[in-house]
Amino acid sequence: MSWISASAPHSTASANKSHLDPCSSGTGAVQWVQKHEPAHSSVISPMAGIDHEIESNDYRSFAQFDVVQDFSDHHYANSSPGKKLFHAFLIDNNWIILVDCSETIYVRVYEQRMDLLRAAIVGPAGTPYHDGLFFFDVRFPSDYPKCPPKVHYHSGGLRLNPNLYESGKVCLSLLNTWWGNGCEKWAKSNSTMLQVLVSIQGLVLNDKPYFNEPGNKNSTKTAVGEKNSLAYNQTAFILSCKTMLYSLRKPPKHFETLVACHFIEREHVILESCGAYLSGTIVGSSVRNGTKYACDKCFADFTKSLAIYTEQLRTEFASNNIRILELEKEASSADEIVPAS
């Protein structure tokens, strides 16, 4: 039986080299995944923010890169910082590289802890992670760049990708957390933090993450493999929705503005996608003319769960709108205060 009514518009392609290697049990060769250009359903427009720690009075933008102070909620906050001047110089140069990062990657570094970094990655379009926000805490070890940075994923206890563990572990050969050959591994002479972030966005958060799992490569382009991949994408999207709820309810420090503005801007697209998936559109397909499942009954559990999370998202988006309106009103009132002459 065919599980879809037509071929999906996105597919996993084989490539000779990649930094994607899932940490998981299994045998057989690793499925290399072709890097995506991170296209997205929408772009965040300037809006009022809710991050009261922004030092300027402009609440209408969120910079791709910035230096902040408080690192108390960082995963590696209690680690001992490196004290070598050369080490600090190398990290400072990494900051310069990150200033030019993708429009869908946001970075905050810490003035008092140059060895720490936090990044938010927007899930790519055409994948089960589309329009989501995914947060990562990074620590540069004292022997950096000889050794790669340590990366922790804010999982919320969810396993939404073979490479992203519930514990927060990120499996990537570029991070030396999985095997790899040659340029697949970290190289102190040319590997960068930006390369790590782009690899996570383009290679880990791909359109068919099921095939990231070792042992699943042999089932590519088979009826069983494609069926399992479709089912995995459904689960991944449900977990992505749960991650959205977590972020809205408790955004990471210094990213409150991004979370609020991102979901204000994309809530319609997200809810429209949920509606399309409930009507049988394949997860990650175009909402208006995407591929449909040929056998809807096979995915009854998915639609039941999605209906629940769609309503939870709708409620949380409404609360987010109210918070933004209240803060806009507060900011407007503050602007109208005229100091006495």
In sequence order, what DSSP letters do the residues of 84-132 get, joined into one string? -HHHHHHHHHHHHHHHT--TTEEEEEETTEEEEEEEEEEPPTTSTTTT-
Tell me, yes or no, if 241 is annotated catalytic: no
Q: How far apart are alpha carbons 116 and 140 in whole angstroms?
A: 6
Nearest CA among 126, 133, 171 for reference residue 152: 171
Instruction: Give phi and psi for 137, each to the nearest 5.
Output: -100, 140
Q: How far apart are alpha carbons 312 and 163 in whole angstroms?
A: 27
Q: Spell out the SS3 assignment of 42-73.
A: CCCCCCCCCCCCCCCCCCCCCCCEEEECCCCC
Instruction: Give phi and psi for 121, each to the nearest 5.
Output: -120, 130
Strand, coil or helix: 253? coil
Q: Which of 101, 171, 241, 261 is catalytic?
A: 171
Burial zone of 186 (CB within 10 Å; 0-12 exposed, 13-18 middle, 19+ buried): buried
Across 60-72, b (16+ Cβ under 10 Å) vs e yields: eebeebeebeebe
Bond into 128 cis (ω within 30): no
> Which are the catalytic amino acids?
171
